[in-house]
Amino acid sequence: NAGVTQTPKFQVLKTGQSMTLQCAQDMNHNSMYWYRQDPGMGLRLIYYSASEGTTDKGEVPNGYNVSRLNKREFSLRLESAAPSQTSVYFCASRAPAPELAASSYEQYFGPGTRLTVT
């Protein structure tokens, strides 16, 4: 049981290049999330997916697209990278939420992808 995995761990892009960050979870969770972490700002939600085939924008979606093709995987794509997208990206997943099961609210985070755009 690996939990939440992310690839790659590190990436350097030039302005205008594209790339896809991969995220997978093996906990059979429905909900998955992408956050970015910038110094002094905590983590901010980019996109989230409540279930396979559904996605919704978060707080900072501009410049990103996502894909949830199956229950396990949730990818984040930068079509034309910009220096402002230099950040650490975290993927997270959350168990289904029977309302009285407090443990279902916990989000499990991957190790992160450190992206630099020059």
Partner 1 sequence: AQSVTQPDIHITVSEGASLELRCNYSYGATPYLFWYVQSPGQGLQLLLKYFSGDTLVQGIKGFEAEFKRSQSSFNLRKPSVHWSDAAEYFCAIMDTGRRALTFGSGTRLQVQP
Q: How far apart, in Å, are the Cα atoms of 59 and each of 12, 14, 25, 33, 45?
A: 24, 25, 23, 12, 5
Q: Please select the residue that binds partner 1; options are 58, 72, 73, 75, rule is CB under 8 A.
A: 58
Q: Is residue 12 close enough to count as binding partner 1 by CB under 8 A?
A: no
Distance of CA 26 to the CA centre of its chain: 15
Q: Is residue 98 close enough to count as binding partner 1 by CB under 8 A?
A: no
Q: At closest approach, how far in Å is the CB of 78 from partner 1?
A: 20
The token pair at 63 is 């410049």
Closer CB to partner 1, 17 or 22, in the complex: 22
Report the distance separating Cα 36 and Cα 31, nearest Å.
17
- Interface residues toward partner 1, by CB under 8 A: 31, 33, 35, 40-45, 48, 50, 56, 58, 90, 94, 97, 102, 105-107, 109-112
